[in-house]
Structure 1
Amino acid sequence: MPSEFERHIAMEPDEEDQSKASELYSKAKDQIGEMAQGPREAMRENPGTFSVMAILVAMAGFALGWACGQSSARSERYWR
């Protein structure tokens, strides 16, 4: 005979469970939207600053990747 836990797991979610899940989803979505509002406004007010920062981060990432690649190469002829 299945335990109460097993019966509960096997049951289909009822409307109350679905409404709770929907409510939690809505709250989480609203909180994420509020958190993203600050950076969104900053990008709108200062598009040049955002662009410069994006380019600098991309260049730093490329430089780091290139340096790691150079350090792991066995010899210079590997890249030719």
Structure 2
Amino acid sequence: MENEKGEIIDLYVPRGCSATNYPSLKSTTTPLSRSPWARLTTTVTELVRTRAMLSMASSVPVCNDSLNHLTPRDGYVRNVWAASR
């Protein structure tokens, strides 16, 4: 596919899991997009951040721990309990 500048670009971006860093070879990854928004105006205030979750990681109970590990790093939630503390 070509963009507006005439450069050839590829639309497929192989993503690994953001929590476990496993590549998506035999399993699929699900993109999770999150963007901060202003409550009063309901408009997006910053850039959308996308994290990929491996379907293997999202099907086990550790998925919540994976999300709790990723969201404070992006600044979406604070003071989440972690076993490493």
Question: Per the shorter chain, which TM-score range?
Answer: under 0.3
Larger radius of gyration: 1
TM-score, L = length of structure 1: 0.19
Structure with more strand by fraction? 2
Considering Cα pairs closer than 8 Å and 6+ residues apart, tell me whether 1 or 2 has the greater RCO.
2
Structure with more helix by fraction? 1
TM-score, L = length of structure 2: 0.19
